[in-house]
Amino acid sequence: MDPARMSERCPHSPLQSTGWLSGWRLTFGGEEHGWDGALPTIVQDPHEQVFVAIFDVSVEDERTLDGWESADTGLYRKTRVRVSTMNGEVVAWAYVLDAYEGGLPSALHLGVLADAAEAADAPADYVAALRRRACRSTGL
C-alpha cells in the first residue's frame, strides 16, 4: 500500500486512489509459511472494513507484483473486490492468502503494514489500531 515502495517495485503502476474495502477485515494466517509469523490477508466480515490503496497496475508490473506477493507460487491468489473511494465504487483485485486464518504477525511485519497505511494517508485512528495489534515475539 506504500506509494513509495510500490513505485520502486512497479514503476509503471501509479497510485490511482485510496478507499475502503467494506465487508472485509485485515487478519493473519499461514503462520507455517512465514519465516517470522503469520502473513497478512483479508477475509469477508460484514461488520468490518479495510483501508486500501488502488494502483493502476500495468501488464508488465503485474507479473512483478505477483512475485513480490507470492501469487506466482500459489501462496496468495487474486480476487476481485469492490472498493468505495471518494469518486465512487471501483472494482479492483486484491491478494488473498490461500491458507488458514490464525496466528500472530511479527512486530516487524505489522510495523511495515502500519507505515504503509500511514504513507497512503490512512486515517490516524486506523494506523494507531494497526500499531496496537497483538504481534509475535520473534526472540531475535
Q: Can you give the pTM of this predicted structure?
A: 0.89
Q: 76-85 and 39-55: which strand pairing?
A: unpaired
Q: For the sheet containing 76-85, what is the strand order?
A: 39-55, 15-29, 76-85, 88-97
Query: Residue ranges of the domains in the chain?
Result: 3-132
Chain segment 71-123, per-residue pLDDT in tens: 889 899 999 999 999 999 999 999 999 999 999 999 998 999 999 999 999 99
Q: Which fold has domain 3-132?
A: Hypothetical upf0131 protein ytfp (3.10.490)
Residue type, 78: K
pLDDT at 35 over 70: yes
- Following CA atoms 111, 21, 44, 33 in sequence, which dihedral angle do they give, to the nearest 10 degrees? -30
Chain segment 61-83, per-residue pLDDT in tens: 999 999 988 888 989 999 999 99
* Side-chain-facing half-sphere of 129: CA atoms under 13 Å: 11
